[in-house]
Structure 1
Amino acid sequence: MSHLPRACGIDFGTSNSTVGWLRPNASALLALEDGRPTLPSAVFFNADENSVSFGRAAMAEYLDGYEGRLMRALKSLLGTSLIDGHTEVHGRALRFRDLLADFIAELKRRAEHEAGRTFDQAVFGRPVHFVDDDAVADRRAQDTLEAIARQVGFREVSFQFEPIGAALHYERTLAREELVLIADIGGGTADFSIVRLSPERTRHDDRREDVLGNAGIHIGGTDFDRALSLECVMPLLGYRSRMRNGAEVPSSIYFQLASWHTINFAYSRQAWADLQHIYRDASAREALDHLCRLVSRREGHWLALQVEEAKVALSAAPLTRMVLDRLADGLGLDLSRDAFAAATQGLVERVGACVAGLLQEAGVARGRIDSIYFTGGASGVPQLRARIAAELPGARAVEGDLYGSIGAGLAVEAARRYG
C-alpha cells in the first residue's frame, strides 16, 4: 500500500458526494454505499429508533414513514448565516456546523473502510463561487469547510475548483489537444472553466497557464426544483391564490417548502399558527386544505422528492405525471417539458450570460472552443444544455460521468499534490 497515493479527493456536493483515490487498474471512485460511488448528501435523524442514517438509507427511512428529521442540500448552508444557527433534533439543539461535520466524518469513515487505510490529506472540490458577488462570504465558506475537514481528522486540506477537477478526469481520455469548456452543473452551482487539455500536459505539475478562465453562478439543480415547484406545483396548494379581501395569499411558506434546506421551517409552531390565520380568510379553501395536510403530516420532503423526480423525468421525456395522493385521494398533476422550460427560463438565461461573460473575460472567441464537457447531475436538463451550446455553436458536446467526474479528477490532483 505504501506506493499508492496518500491523499484522497473529496467532492462534497449539494445533492451527492464522492471520494476519489488513485489506484492502478481500478476506478478512482471509492464505493460509499451499497457498492455505489455516490453518497446522497442527506442525513436522517430517526426519532423512533434514536439513530442517525446517511445517504440512500436516510432517504429510505424517511420515506418509510419513520418519525424524525431529514436534512438535505447541506452544502447550501456554507456561506450563509444559517451555518452559525441550529435546528432541533430529538429535542436538543444541533448546530448546522456540526451537522456538516457529521456528514463529512461519515464520508471519511466510509472511504477509509473501502480503501483499507486512513486518509490524513485531502483535496476538496469547491465551486468557483460559494457565494456570488461577495468575496468575504465566499472566503468564509471555504474557511468553514476547511475547519470542519480538520475537525473530523484531515491534517492537510487544500482546494481545487470543481470544474478543474472534472477537466483533469476528462483529460485522461484525450488523444490530442483540445480547448474545452468544462460545464459543471450540480445541485447548488453552475461552474465553468476554459481549459487547454492534452495527453502531454497531464505530465505537468503546474497547470495554471492552461486555465484560461473560471466563472460560476449560484444556480444548480435545487434551483430548478424550486422553480418547477413554485411555478407548477405550489399553485395546487394555494400559491398566488387570493384572500377574501383580494390580497394574495402570503407566499413565505411556499418558498420554504420549495427549498430543501428550509422545509423544516414550515413546521414551526409560529408557521402553523400563521397558516391557520391565512386559512380562515382564504378563498381557495380546497387548495389550502392540501397545504394544511402537507404541513400537519410533515410531507414537505416527500413533495420535494416528487418535484425532483418530475424534473429528472422531464429531462428525458416531454411529459410526466406527478402522483400526489398524500395530499388528496386521486390528486395528480400533468407536467410538460415546455412548462418546465418556462418556469426555469430566467435561471437558464442567467447561466447562459455567465458563459458569455466568461468567454469575453478570457478573450476566447466562441469558435475556438473544441468541446463542451458536461458534468454534474443538473447538466442533463435539456433547456440548460441547449442554452450553453448556443453560446458555442461549433463545439462538440461531450457527456461526462455526471456524478463521478469531479471526484475522480480530484483524486488525480490529490496524488499530484501530496504524492
Structure 2
Amino acid sequence: MSVSHDLSIGIDFGTSNTVVAVADSHGNVKALTFDHGGENLKVFVTALCFWDERHGNGLRTQVEGGPWAIEQFLEGLSPHRFIQSFKTFAASATFQETRIFRDRYRFEDLLSAFLRTLVRHGGEQLNWGVPNVVIGRPVQFAGYNPDDDLAMQRYRAAFGKLGADHARYVYEPVGAAFFYARQLNRDSTVLVADFGGGTSDFSVMRFSRESGVLRAEPLGHSGIGIAGDAFDYRIVDHVVSPQLGKGGFYRSMGKTLSIPNHYYANFARWNQLAMMKGSGDLKELRELAKVALEPEPLEKFIDIIEYDLGFELYRAVSSTKVALSSQDETEFRFQGEGVDIKARIKRADFESWIADDVKRIAGTVDEALMKSGVSATEIDKVFLTGGTSFVPAIRNLFVERFGEERLTSADQFESIAYGLALIGQTDDPERWAVQGSQDVKK
C-alpha cells in the first residue's frame, strides 16, 4: 500500500458515534478533535437536537449535533426534538421524511444537517476539498429489507451538499483491516469483525509484503443489521416495556382488547423512539390510556415520549449492558419525570434474550468465510472492533471458532476512521471503493 497523496480524510459515520481521521503521505494518521467545554473529544456523538429561537417577529429553527446536541437537549430551555441512531433509516424505503416544527426532513436532510454541525465544530481541520475523502459504509445496512442503492443515493446527496461529491465509499470492516494491518510483520489472512450500533460487518482480507510494501487483497464480505442497538432492544423489551403497559388491555365497543405491540416495537428501537413524538403514535397512546384497564403504565409510556426521556433511557440501558459484560448480575435503574423503573438482570437471562441474535451473527461470520473460500483454520488473526465485541456471548462465539490466541482488538471507536484515511493514501484508493450494490472492485 504505497502512498501518493498529501492528505486524505476518513469518515466513520456510525449509528452511535462518528469519527473523522486525517492521514498524510508519511502514513501518519490522527483523529479530528472537537473542543467541548475544554475537553478534546475524538468521538462526535451521532445525535441531533432541533429547537426554536425567536428572531424578530418569527421563529427560526436551530440545530446542533454531537455533544452539543446532548447539551442543548439536557438544558431543555425551549421546545425541541432530539434525534439519535438516525443512520438506521438510511436504507429504509418506508422512511420518507419526518416533520420537525415547520419543516420536513428526509434522511439526507438529517445527515447533511448533522455533517454541517460536525464541520462547524471541526473548523479548519476538516477540508472537504482534499482529493481523497473516504467514507465508511456497512456491508449490509440496518433495518427490515434494507435498500442498499437507496442508502447510497442518500449518502451521496448529503455528502455532496458539503462538497464531498467526489468521495469514495468503502466497507467499514475493510477500513478497520487497514488500520490493523500496520501491526503485521508477516503474511496473514485476517477476519475483521466490526460491531457497530446498527450493523455487524465482517471482511476477510489477505495481507502480504512485496519488496517491503504491504499489499492487501479483499477475499469476501458479509453483514447483518443486528448489533448493539438490537441487544439494547432486548433489554427494553423484556425489562422496560412490560412496566409501561406491554401485555395490557383496553376496552372498546364492549370488548376487551390487547394493547397493540407495535408501539413497544417502536419504543424499543432508538431511531424509532426519536420519531414517536412527531408521529401519530403519541396521540393514539393518549386515546388508549383513556380506555385502558390499567392506565398508569401507559401514562408513564406517554411521559417518556412527551418529555423526551429517550436519551436518559438509552444511557441506562447502555450502562446495564456494559455492566453485564463484567458482572453476572446487575441492577437496571431508570428515573425521570416521575417515571421510576428498576429490575435485577442476570447475565444468563440477557444471554437468553440475545441468543437468536448471536446465532444469526454467527451465521453471518460463516457466510464471510464461505464467500472467501477460507476455512476457520486458515484465519491467522481475528480483529474485533466495536463496543459489542466486549459482550461475552459475542466474544465466546469467536473463541469457540478461532481460539483465544488468534483474537485481537483495538480502540473501539477510532480504528475504522483511521483505516479509511489510510486507504486514501494508497496508490489506488478506487480499488477499495464499493462499486454499486454489494460489489467490490478488485
- Taking structure 1 as the reference length, the TM-score comes to 0.88
AA in 2 matched with 1:107: L
Specify which of 251, 263, 288 is matched with residue 253 of structure 1.
263
Is this contact kept in 1: 2:285–2:302, CA < 8 A? yes
AA in 2 matched with 1:81: A
Match runs of 1:281-320 below 5 Å: 281-320=291-330
Distance 1:325 1:418, change over 3 A: closer
Distance 1:149 1:290, change over 3 A: same
Instruction: Name stretches of at least 5 consecutive residues in structure 1 with no aligned partner.
Output: none
Which residue in 1 is equivalent to 2:48? 43
Cα root mean square deviation, aligned? 2.9
Match runs of 1:243-282 below 5 Å: 243=250, 247-268=257-278, 270-282=280-292
Is this contact kept in 2: 1:120–1:155, CA < 8 A? no
Distance 1:134 1:232, change over 3 A: closer
Does 2:372 correspond to 1:370? no
For 1:12 and 1:293, how far apart are their aligned partners in 2? 31
Structure 2 SS opposite 1:195: strand
AA in 2 matched with 1:102: A
Does 2:160 correspond to 1:150? yes
Is this contact kept in 1: 2:300–2:339, CA < 8 A? no
Instruction: Name stretches of at least 5 consecutive residues in structure 2 with no aligned partner.
Output: 55-60, 431-442
Structure 2 SS opposite 1:305: helix
For 1:249 and 1:327, how far apart are their aligned partners in 2? 23
Distance 1:243 1:44, change over 3 A: same
Residues 151-203 of structure 1 deviation map (CA, whole Å, 9 limit, x = unaligned): 21124111111111100100101222222110001011100011122455983
Specify which of 18, 32, 56 is matched with residue 30 of structure 1.
32
State the number of aligned residues: 412
Specify which of 103, 109, 113 is matched with residue 124 of structure 2.
113
Once structures 1 and 2 are overlaid, which stretch shifts more, 121-130 or 331-340?
331-340
Does 2:225 correspond to 1:225? no
Offset of 1:69 from its aligned partner? 0.8
Distance 1:71 1:154, change over 3 A: same
Structure 2 SS opposite 1:311: helix
- Taking structure 2 as the reference length, the TM-score comes to 0.84
AA in 1 matched with 2:111: L
Is this contact kept in 2: 1:186–1:379, CA < 8 A? no
**Structure with the bigger percentage of strand:** 2
Specify which of 407, 412, 434 is matched with residue 397 of structure 1.
407
AA in 1 matched with 2:425: A
For 1:349 and 1:398, how far apart are their aligned partners in 2? 22
Specify which of 332, 337, 357 is matched with residue 347 of structure 1.
357
Does 2:97 correspond to 1:85? yes
AA in 1 matched with 2:33: A
**Structure with the bigger percentage of helix:** 1
Distance 1:146 1:238, change over 3 A: same
Which residue in 2 is equivalent to 1:406? 416
Is this contact kept in 2: 1:63–1:302, CA < 8 A? no
AA in 1 matched with 2:325: S
Distance 1:46 1:131, change over 3 A: closer
Specify which of 215, 221, 231 is matched with residue 222 of structure 2.
215
Is this contact kept in 1: 2:243–2:341, CA < 8 A? no
Distance 1:400 1:8, change over 3 A: same
Once structures 1 and 2 are overlaid, which stretch shifts more, 387-396 or 91-100?
387-396
Once structures 1 and 2 are overlaid, which stretch shifts more, 143-152 or 60-69?
60-69
Offset of 1:246 from its aligned partner? 5.6
Does 2:29 correspond to 1:18? no
Distance 1:7 1:116, change over 3 A: closer
Once structures 1 and 2 are overlaid, which stretch shifts more, 372-381 or 19-28?
19-28
Distance 1:83 1:20, change over 3 A: farther
